[in-house]
Structure 1
Amino acid sequence: MFSELDRANISWFWHEYLKSKTPWLFLVLGMITVQGIVYQQFLALTEDGLRVIFESGALSDLVRVCGIVFALFTTRAVMSYLIPRLSVWLASGAVMKMRRDLIDHLMTLDLAFFERTQSGELILRLVNQAEGLSQFVGQATVNAVRDAATILIVSGYLIYKSPLLFTAALIILPTILLLLQHVSSTIKQIQATAENALGAYMTGIDEMSSGMRTVKIAGQEPVERARLVRATDQIRNISIRLQSAQALVMPAIDMMAAFVYVLVIGGGGWMVLSGDFGLDGAGIIAYLLGLALIFDPARTLASFFAKLQANLILLDGIRSLYRETPSITDAPDAHEAFDRAGDIALEDVTFCYDSDHPLFDTLSMRFDGGKVTAIVGATGSGKTTVLSLLTRLYDAQGGQVTIGGTRIDRLKIRALRSSFSVVAQDIVIFNSSLADNIRYVRPDATDAQVRAAAEAAEIAELMEARGDKPLGPKGSQLSGGQKQRIAIARAFLRESPILLLDEATSALDQKTEDKVKRALNRLSEGKTTLIVAHRLSAITHADWIYVLDAGRVVEQGTHADLLAQEGLYAGMYGAQKQSYG
């Protein structure tokens, strides 16, 4: 029923999140045992009560039995209140710690992981699967332990009363085990399919929400509706298959229970009539009642094992995130000190995203400290990848990248990245105030420092006008230029010695671009500045310009030098100048 992977996952969850709570778990187990003993005592008292009715007829004895039974079930009721409260507290605490560990682990993973992983998959694991696991551990598992304890304690009592009858009842056990084996394998396959479908559905919702502007303008609401409806139909069909597989368990056990009841009534009745087995009418009635107390928890226990297979898929889905390991980490001898104002160099760098399609082959570039260097080229030529290699979002697969003569893979990642400020075309804006968005890169900044950064980026007036109002999901209430100036304000606040500008003005109109350019010129003063741009008018002032084509440097020089060469750069510049008219 459990594969090697299942056992490993269960062992991991136990040792990481439950083992430390062992004293509390023993307390829960003790209360569960009390509940089982209540049922066993109830059977014994029921048998005594029946004998009082059938034989002695003493009213005082009957009242005593009834009083004890009421006290027993009152005890069970108290346990029934305390056990769920305690078990849910334990389970939710364990899952909260697991979620916190997952978030910590996710923060260590490389950019490549997030670029290849759908957002719906992460939401599924961190939200749905973690919550489902919490409910299963805190409720279903505890109920299953309670049912198992009831079965064991009551079965022990029934064996004591008549080993022969109980042995006869066990003939259905192999059938139950075979049924559970068949159903469990089916459920695991369906549940895995269901989780994949749900993850794809969540990703579809995220894509639809993020791209709603395009959807509306293109009039593609029917297409999006049809796509999401197809996904919901698939989830519904899978859910029906899953419920159908789980539904086999209950009626099968009911039929087996009926067989056992008939066997006990017939065989037990014969044993009572013969008088040779020490059973009387009260004993056989109590025995039948005991079987009823066993079969009800047996049904729910069997259902638990069916659901367990589905939750093992959830557990594996969550743990699968831990199998992702970061490839970009601090070297054992990594240090923090380096010349942040020094020259930056790529020396014979080799890199590819896909082994079948190499991007850089022995690429060499140099960016002088304190100077402005620009990188231009067609889409896909590798401009942004150069910035990713400098910041170690990716590692070069050959050659080396240095700052001030120090290899960046010998520096601590946090120290390296703290040396950069980035202003990109696609800037992340959070649904909080404008001031909070600026402060994001430096949480300890004072209000005065945030104000100064906003003034330098020419967005202080808007910050004051909006006050504490949130900016909407992904900054939906801002224009492109306003988002860019928030990014510039962040860079002013961060005060890093190296500035990376990645298509920082490409999506702006002329008036807004002029305003952003003024802020960028102030920002780049005294800094080593790298500019990636399509719009060549934005980099004519650069001290040096590299022209990339298909991952190779095909031209380099100043703006005047490159125009004089009448090569690729001159052609691009002329075409753009003509298009701007």
Structure 2
Amino acid sequence: MTDKAKKKREPIFSPEDRSNLRWLWLGYLKKRAPWLGAVLLMILIQGLVYQQFLSMTESGLRVIFESGEVGQLVLVCLGVFFLFAVRGLMSYLVPLVTVRLSNEAIFEMRRDLIGHLMSLDLAYFERTKSGEIIHRLVTQTQQLGVFFGLATAGAVRDAVTVVIVSGYLIWKNPILFTTAIVVLPFIIWVMNFVSDRVKQAQGQAERALADYMNGIEETVNGMRTVKIASQEQVEAGRLMKGTGAIRDLMKRVQTTQALVMPSIDLSSAFVYVLVIGGGGYMVLSPDFDVDGAGIITFLLGMVMVFDPARLLAQYFGALQSNLVLLDRVRSLYDEQPSINDAPDAVEDFDTGGDIVLDDVTFSYSEDQPLFEGLDMTFRGGQVSAIVGATGSGKTTILSLLSRLYDVKGGQITIGGQPIETLKVGSLRGAFSVVAQDIVIFNNSIWENIRYVNPEATEEDVWRAAEDAEIADLIRRRGDAPVGPKGAQLSGGQKQRIAIARAFLRDAPILLLDEATSALDQATEERIKAALGRLTKGKTTIVVAHRLSSVADADRIFVLEAGQLVEQGRHDELLETAGLYSQLYQAQKKGYDGR
């Protein structure tokens, strides 16, 4: 026996599916139960209309075949028109109410997902593709809203129609109806077969689609490099490969779903033959009290049963795909933040005190430790600098200070207070950061500066802009957006926005991570005085590659491969002729040789 044959067929609703559906109901639908009850009532009215239509049709046929009274026929026709007018009104109200309910539910789901995303650690966003996050938050939630809104309301309507009309047909002719449903086991088998394969293929398709969206984002963001390197064809080929993978997976899903409708059609044809043949025999035989009007009505009723049954079959095929989406959306809650406020965390601490790293151990992965027993002290109110080669851990120290990551061992204190005993919001609120990876929004420069302090006055923003030497650019550009990720700005202009933000935030501890790396020599000299004003009276920690920019620091720490190898003032470190001196002389020679 093959592995495929040995594989046990999964149930239509796995324990995970039931748990996810319970989460959806309790979290977003139960509170709307009264409105959902109203929708169900309107759907019941639609089903009763069909039942009454069958009854009136049979009466109308008997008027035509037997009594021949025109007045009675007119009354039947008016009754049928009234019934379908009621059904038409319900057909308008049901989707109207359902769409509003589903949109509100999806709004709340997105709100909760966004809130949860914002609570997650930086490490989650560094290991998760942004395309996957966007896909879950936008596309998948929207698909869920449409499916569990309009599609589910339609499915309930179809199910109610099947139940009510079938009940009426059983009451009219139980023998003929029992004969007609002999195909039911076959339909159930087809649905099991389809649902199992759809769920597998849909899961693969969703992963491929997330990867594809991430690839598009990477290509668009890196278009400058693509154009310069003339790699348009390579990128097009990479994206087309993803497109082909999605096409093939969706073809599998749709091919499997396509088996449902012809199976239902063949079953319907078989049933109609049984009804026509068996019903005709009942009409011709004196042993049954059945006439032509009854058989025609019964056949019309079977049409009314099988059409919504076809739609129900489609719904259950789509249900498997949407259960996969629901699982992927809810799985976001499996990610939990590891950096939280301690139960007894405090808000107040000495922001002007010394910042001490005591025997700190940290690694991004278990097999590659970065810091082991690192000791450093940044004096309160002074300017400290961290220098070293790329990968030595300079920026990581800033991340540890603000608890973007937690240390694996040892302790970090500010003013003698361990940072893990502080509320995260209060701790991070004590820092202003000017980083090398500057986040710029597609808004005006003015709004980009005001982002760090939305309550700032107009005067405060202008003062920060003047201090950062970017006020003239604001006057020239006005309210013009700067493009996605600041595409219309130079690297130096972006960094001046970051510096203006630091002025506007005016926090007691200042972290400068390559704050002037994108500035030319002339601009750096102009802004040096502003940085001097910014750092005055603040505990300042500067990470710099250009050693000349930290020559005035009160203390310089030299890192190499995660180890503190030297510390002291600029002149002291030059005299020791150690690593700092070597780096400084190498940079000086490089600048002099230009």
Name the TM-score class by shorter chain. over 0.9
CA contact (8 A) 2:552 2:570 kept: yes
Secondary structure at the counterpart of residue 264 of structure 2 = helix
2:46 maps to 35
Q: Does 1:64 align with 2:75?
A: yes
Q: 2:365 aligns with which of 349, 354, 357?
A: 354
2:484 maps to 473
CA drift of 1:513 comes to 2.4
Q: 2:375 aligns with which of 364, 373, 382?
A: 364
State the Cα deviation string for residues 71-98 of structure 1 (Å, max 9, x = none). 1011111111111111011101100111
2:152 maps to 141
5 Å-filtered alignment, 1:218-367, equals 218-367=229-378
Look up the equivalent residue of 1:160 and give its one-letter code: W
CA contact (8 A) 1:350 1:399 kept: yes
Q: Does 1:421 align with 2:426?
A: no
2:466 maps to 455
2:114 maps to 103
Look up the equivalent residue of 2:585 and give its one-letter code: G
CA drift of 1:364 comes to 1.1
Look up the equivalent residue of 1:38 and give its one-letter code: V
CA contact (8 A) 2:499 2:515 kept: no
5 Å-filtered alignment, 1:448-527, equals 448-527=459-538
Question: What is the distance in 2 between the residues matched to 1:533 and 1:279?
Answer: 96
Secondary structure at the counterpart of residue 523 of structure 1 = helix
Question: What is the distance in 1 between the residues matched to 2:481 and 2:246?
Answer: 35
CA contact (8 A) 1:488 1:519 kept: no
1:189 maps to 200
Question: What is the distance in 2 between the residues matched to 1:564 and 1:281?
Answer: 114
Look up the equivalent residue of 2:374 and give its one-letter code: L
CA contact (8 A) 1:481 1:516 kept: no
Structure 2 vs 1, CA of residues 484 and 516 (structure 1 numbering), >3 Å: closer, same or farther? Answer: farther
Secondary structure at the counterpart of residue 331 of structure 1 = coil
Look up the equivalent residue of 1:567 and give its one-letter code: G
Q: Which range moved further: 139-148 or 477-486?
A: 477-486
Secondary structure at the counterpart of residue 545 of structure 1 = strand
Question: What is the distance in 2 between the residues matched to 1:193 and 1:322?
Answer: 21
Secondary structure at the counterpart of residue 452 of structure 2 = coil
Q: Percent identity?
A: 63
Question: What is the distance in 2 between the residues matched to 1:517 and 1:449?
Answer: 20
Look up the equivalent residue of 2:450 and give its one-letter code: R
Secondary structure at the counterpart of residue 359 of structure 1 = strand
CA drift of 1:113 comes to 0.7
CA contact (8 A) 2:495 2:518 kept: no
CA drift of 1:507 comes to 2.9
CA contact (8 A) 1:421 1:495 kept: yes
State the Cα deviation string for residues 212-256 of structure 1 (Å, max 9, x = none). 111111111111111112111222222222111111100001001
2:409 maps to 398
Secondary structure at the counterpart of residue 351 of structure 1 = strand
Q: Does 1:435 align with 2:446?
A: yes
CA drift of 1:45 comes to 0.8
Q: Does 1:566 align with 2:583?
A: no
CA contact (8 A) 2:381 2:540 kept: yes
CA drift of 1:567 comes to 1.4
Structure 1 segments (4+ residues) deviating >4 Å: none
Secondary structure at the counterpart of residue 14 of structure 1 = helix
CA drift of 1:404 comes to 0.2
Question: What is the distance in 2 between the residues matched to 1:275 and 1:359?
Answer: 95
5 Å-filtered alignment, 1:46-61, equals 46-61=57-72
CA drift of 1:519 comes to 2.4
5 Å-filtered alignment, 1:73-112, equals 73-112=84-123
State the Cα deviation string for residues 410-437 of structure 1 (Å, max 9, x = none). 0011110010000111211111111111
State the Cα deviation string for residues 512-561 of structure 1 (Å, max 9, x = none). 22233332222111110101111111111111111111111111111122
Question: What is the distance in 1 between the residues matched to 2:393 and 2:288?
Answer: 89
CA drift of 1:267 comes to 1.5
Number of residues of Structure 1 aligned to a counterpart in Structure 2: 581
Secondary structure at the counterpart of residue 358 of structure 1 = strand
Q: 1:172 aligns with which of 174, 183, 198?
A: 183
Question: What is the distance in 1 between the residues matched to 2:22 and 2:286?
Answer: 52
Q: 1:25 aligns with which of 20, 23, 36?
A: 36
Question: What is the distance in 2 between the residues matched to 1:179 and 1:553?
Answer: 68
State the Cα deviation string for residues 295-317 of structure 1 (Å, max 9, x = none). 00000000000000001111111
Look up the equivalent residue of 1:456 and give its one-letter code: D
- Structure 2 gaps, min length 5: 1-11
TM-score, normalised with respect to structure 2: 0.96
- Structure 1 gaps, min length 5: none
Look up the equivalent residue of 1:226 and give its one-letter code: G
State the Cα deviation string for residues 242-285 of structure 1 (Å, max 9, x = none). 11111110000100111111111112222222232322111111
2:9 maps to none
Secondary structure at the counterpart of residue 482 of structure 2 = coil
CA contact (8 A) 1:190 1:241 kept: yes
CA drift of 1:363 comes to 1.1
2:18 maps to 7
